């Protein structure tokens, strides 16, 4: 049986000495040790006889004994010294700075006339002390200062040996693999209580009353993540208990959006599959005296719950409650006056425990799946824990807005004798200037403020995808949030910046110019007109080529033309340089036309202005008319308070359009294609045939603060921001001036050396030497002095 060593690559300064010993042994043909890496485990070793040793020192001692025949323990005479250094390494790694400095002094003296700590070859002593230094921040800092010449020489020599350098590389690779394979699991695992591989069952339970938004996406992705991480199962369950709000359209769209997100449940179920069982369990609660029927008016009931007052129906008999619940189930006029409440508490400080409603009547709207079979429907508070238990869910993931309902959840399971389910709370995902309430989003749809649930201004999965966000961005962003339970209002620029990083390397580049602000320009001395094939993306040849027309008659945008100076040399992007010879101005002062002179081989690095351009169309070539759309947030307040009416904060204008002319290549794009218009930003083709036959491109935010800021909301605290910026600039200028002053002072001190006495030069030489050598100090000798026959130079204090 071979020896197995387990090391933790996640340690702040990983323990690499065992890897070095294994490498040295393998150089000599011994491959008896197997290395494993595991987070939060080790150092530990399982020996050939089955014994397990734990801790860095124990592992080093075991390997030293194993490799003694290879010379790593030194000769018989050296064995004691090697063992002593190995033991010393265990405390060296954790030594505080003052102690570490003293130990460094001792090691430096010991190595003054030695290449290795013991003997004339690498032993476990060198490996152990070297590894301890690598695990000690104070010692690494001391060596970097180069004050301990001999210690630094020895350390650098070992660092360069293949067995040592490859050990460091192996640990780095293990650490990299750990992050690739479990990028977020390490944080999540701490909170997923009792999870066992192959047994975890999670569920994503959307209500089919609207489209998925980014908040739902987080829930879906986290549930899928845990199910896959533990090789378990994901249940997609539609919580279809309110027929008044639910539609088959929403259920179909949710399944489609989940598929787009790469999420497919191992099984798709409905709460309505369990209506009969839920009714029977409600009857059981009544018979146990744990539920009662109540006809208190809704507003009065709400007030009683807030004030901790009991309902007058709370002490009704079991027979009365069963009779009234039967009336409810039959949907009679009398039954519709009642609801069923769990008999938990009247005045519990946690108001979620104050006799919540668990059943209510709905006889007017047929259910999408069960039709008119049922007249009563369970509330989410009741059916959620019950169905979770019935379906074998092991871990129920819920946003922490439900945290107060967790005791309620467990109450139902205990009263009904159902299987326990662990609850895992996580922070709800909110964004500034963004509404996630389905009721409020429905208002925008109903009032025609947006075109539908897939409007680019909506935070629905379809909306943000239509605006150009990739599925990979959504997944990466949500997983990168980790297991935080804190509810924060995220800035959109974070997620759009991630989206840009994913888009930039893979989207082709084209040119579009504002059609209302085109300036014709004539390029003198230009070569004959021609068409060339140029890369769609200069850094990604896999995207292929596009056709670009080069001609003396071109268009430039007004803003660029107005900025040109007389005889200024500019760069026409992807072509060459040109000199502005004349600007023809219109009556309003704008530029009507430009006369340019070609200097195509000029130095583009020397020009300050690089501008986009398009060859003017003619009978044989054309430009593509397009519409460029941009959007603002639907509301002007970053975060709405509980008392705020969202309709008081509606943005006055949320859609902005610009008609433009683009190069002919964009005519071949398909809907959904993402591109970059040079110097304008990233866009996605939304409609091939939009208004007036133009192609419609939607601007994709790039994560910069300017593109993510509200266009309608006033800048918050502008004076404060300006003052802070001015203070930061002043501080930076003061620091720069102080550095310059110190530099001048140092220069002046060095410049006066020639006029000083010779003894100063000697002292300077001494000072320089003592800074570099910490072994001994040299006294200044200015006169004839009798030298003692014994000096401290060769008096070395034993390190042991």
Angle made by CA atoms 38, 41, 43, in degrees to the nearest 5: 105
Compute the CA torsion angle 228, 229, 234, 239 (nearest 10 deg).
Answer: -130
Cβ contacts of 611 within 8 Å, gap of 6 or more: 556, 557, 560, 570, 571, 572, 573, 679
CA dist 450 → 16, 635, 637, 709 (Å): 60, 13, 18, 20
Beta-carbon neighbour count of residue 177 at 10 Å? Answer: 12
Q: Which of 103, 134, 341, 428 is catalytic?
A: 428
Q: Which of 203, 207, 557, 694 is catalytic?
A: 207
For tokens 């001994």, name the residue.
Answer: 776
Helix residue ranges per DSSP H, 161-310: 162-181, 185-189, 214-229, 248-260, 275-288, 298-307
The residue count for the chain:
800
CA dist 296 → 283, 341, 357, 448 (Å): 20, 11, 11, 38
HSE, CB side, 13 Å, CA atoms: give it for residue 166.
Answer: 11
CA distance 353 to 347: 8
Beta strands 429-431 and 488-490 are parallel
Q: Taking a C-beta distance cutoff of 8 angstroms, is the pair 592, 558 a contact?
A: no
Tokens of 92: 């060296």
For tokens 């591109």, name the residue.
Answer: 675
CA distance 152 to 685: 61
Q: For residue 780, give the nearest of 758, 753, 755 by alpha carbon.
A: 758
User: To 10 degrees, what angle do helices 124-134 and 79-92 make?
Assistant: 10
Beta-carbon neighbour count of residue 622 at 10 Å? Answer: 12
Beta-carbon neighbour count of residue 799 at 10 Å? Answer: 17
Q: Which of 103, 134, 218, 438 is catalytic?
A: 438
Sheet of 201-204, strand order:
201-204, 233-238, 267-270
Told to judge if 259 belongs to the known catalytic residues of this protein, a careful annotator would answer: no
CA distance 457 to 495: 15
Tokens of 209: 């009353």
CA distance 302 to 341: 13
Told to judge if 557 belongs to the known catalytic residues of this protein, a careful annotator would answer: no
CA distance 132 to 420: 48
Q: For residue 383, give the nearest of 324, 347, 342 by alpha carbon.
A: 342
DSSP conformational letter for 617: P
Q: Taking a C-beta distance cutoff of 8 angstroms, is the pair 61, 86 a contact?
A: yes
Q: Where are the beta strands (DSSP E) in 691-784?
A: 695-700
For tokens 């009507």, name the residue.
Answer: 592
Which is it for the CA torsion 395, 400, 404, 405, positive or negative? negative
Q: Taking a C-beta distance cutoff of 8 angstroms, is the pair 569, 599 a contact?
A: yes
DSSP conformational letter for 587: T
Told to judge if 207 belongs to the known catalytic residues of this protein, a careful annotator would answer: yes
CA distance 312 to 319: 16
Tokens of 52: 């397990």
Catalytic amino acids?
207, 428, 438
């Amino acid at each position: 049986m071979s020896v197995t060593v387990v090391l933790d690559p996640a340690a702040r300064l990983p323990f690499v000495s065992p890897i070095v010993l294994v490498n040295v042994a393998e150089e000599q043909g011994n491959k008896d040790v197997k290395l494993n890496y595991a987070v939060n485990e080790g150092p530990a070793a399982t020996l050939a006889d089955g014994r397990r040793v734990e801790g860095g020192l124990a592992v080093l001692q075991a390997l030293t004994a194993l490799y003694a025949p290879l010379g790593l323990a030194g000769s018989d005479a050296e064995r004691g010294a090697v063992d002593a250094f190995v033991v010393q390494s265990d405390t060296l790694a954790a030594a505080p700075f003052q102690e570490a400095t003293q130990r460094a002094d001792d090691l430096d003296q010991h190595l003054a006339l030695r290449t290795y700590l013991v003997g004339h070859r690498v032993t476990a002593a060198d490996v152990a002390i070297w590894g301890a230094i690598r695990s000690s921040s104070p010692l690494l800092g001391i060596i970097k200062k180069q004050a301990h010449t001999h210690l630094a020489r020895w350390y650098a020599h070992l660092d360069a040996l293949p067995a040592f350098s490859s050990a460091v590389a192996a640990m780095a690779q293990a650490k990299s693999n750990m992050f690739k394979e479990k990028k977020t699991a390490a944080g999540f695992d701490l909170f997923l209580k009792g999870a066992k591989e192959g047994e975890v069952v999670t569920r994503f339970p959307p209500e089919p009353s609207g489209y998925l938004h980014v908040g739902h996406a987080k829930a879906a992705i986290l549930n899928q993540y845990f199910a896959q991480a533990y090789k378990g199962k994901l249940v997609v369950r539609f919580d279809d208990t309110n027929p008044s709000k639910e539609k088959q359209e929403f259920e179909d769209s949710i399944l489609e959006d989940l598929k787009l997100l790469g999420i497919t449940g191992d099984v798709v179920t409905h709460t309505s599959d369990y209506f009969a069982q839920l009714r029977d369990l409600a009857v059981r609660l009544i018979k146990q005296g744990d539920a009662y029927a109540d006809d208190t008016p809704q507003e009065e009931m709400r007030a009683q719950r807030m004030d901790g007052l009991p309902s007058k129906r709370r002490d009704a008999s079991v027979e009365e409650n069963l009779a009234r619940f039967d009336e409810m189930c039959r949907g009679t006029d009398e039954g519709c006056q009642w609801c069923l409440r769990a008999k938990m508490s009247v005045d519990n400080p946690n108001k979620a425990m104050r006799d919540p409603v668990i059943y209510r009547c709905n006889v007017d709207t047929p259910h999408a799946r069960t039709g008119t079979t049922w007249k009563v429907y369970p509330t989410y508070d009741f059916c959620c824990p019950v169905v979770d238990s019935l379906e074998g869910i092991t871990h129920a993931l819920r946003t922490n807005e439900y945290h107060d309902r967790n005791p309620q959840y467990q109450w139902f399971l205990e009263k009904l004798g159902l299987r326990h389910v662990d609850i895992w709370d996580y922070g709800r995902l909110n964004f500034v200037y963004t509404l996630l309430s389905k009721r409020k989003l429905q208002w925008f749809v109903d009032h025609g403020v947006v075109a539908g649930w897939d409007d680019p201004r909506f935070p629905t999965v379809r909306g943000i995808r239509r605006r150009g966000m990739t599925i990979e961005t959504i997944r990466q962003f949500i997983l990168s949030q980790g297991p935080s339970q804190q509810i924060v209002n995220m800035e959109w620029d974070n997620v759009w910046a991630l989206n840009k990083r994913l888009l930039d390397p893979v989207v082709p580049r084209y040119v579009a110019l504002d059609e209302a602000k085109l300036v014709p320009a004539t390029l003198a001395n230009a070569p004959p007109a021609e068409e060339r094939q140029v890369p769609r993306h200069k850094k990604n040849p896999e995207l292929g080529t596009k056709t670009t027309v080069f001609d003396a008659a071109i268009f430039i945008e007004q803003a660029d033309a107005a900025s040109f100076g007389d005889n200024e040399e500019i760069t026409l992007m992807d072509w060459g340089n040109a000199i502005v010879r004349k600007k023809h101005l219109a009556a309003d002062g704008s530029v009507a036309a430009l006369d340019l002179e070609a200097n195509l081989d000029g130095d583009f690095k020397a020009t300050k202005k690089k501008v986009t351009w398009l060859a003017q169309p003619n009978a044989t070539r054309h430009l593509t008319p397009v519409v460029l759309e941009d959007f603002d947030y639907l509301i002007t307040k970053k975060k709405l308070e509980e008392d705020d009416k969202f309709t008081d904060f509606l943005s006055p204008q949320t859609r902005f359009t610009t008609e433009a002319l683009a190069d002919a290549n964009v005519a071949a794009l398909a809907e959904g294609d993402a591109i970059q218009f040079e110097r304008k930003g990233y866009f996605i083709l939304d409609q091939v045939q939009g208004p007036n036959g133009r192609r419609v491109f939607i601007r994709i935010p790039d994560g910069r603060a300017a593109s993510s800021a509200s266009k309608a909301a006033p800048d918050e605290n502008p004076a404060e921001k300006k003052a802070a910026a001015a203070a930061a600039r002043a501080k930076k200028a003061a620091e720069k001036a102080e550095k310059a002053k110190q530099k001048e002072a140092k220069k002046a001190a060095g410049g006066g050396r020639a006029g000083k006495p010779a003894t100063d030069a000697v002292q300077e030489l001494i000072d320089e030497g003592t800074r570099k050598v910490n072994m001994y100090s040299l006294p200044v000798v200015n006169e004839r002095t009798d030298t003692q026959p014994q000096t401290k130079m060769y008096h070395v204090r034993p390190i042991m």
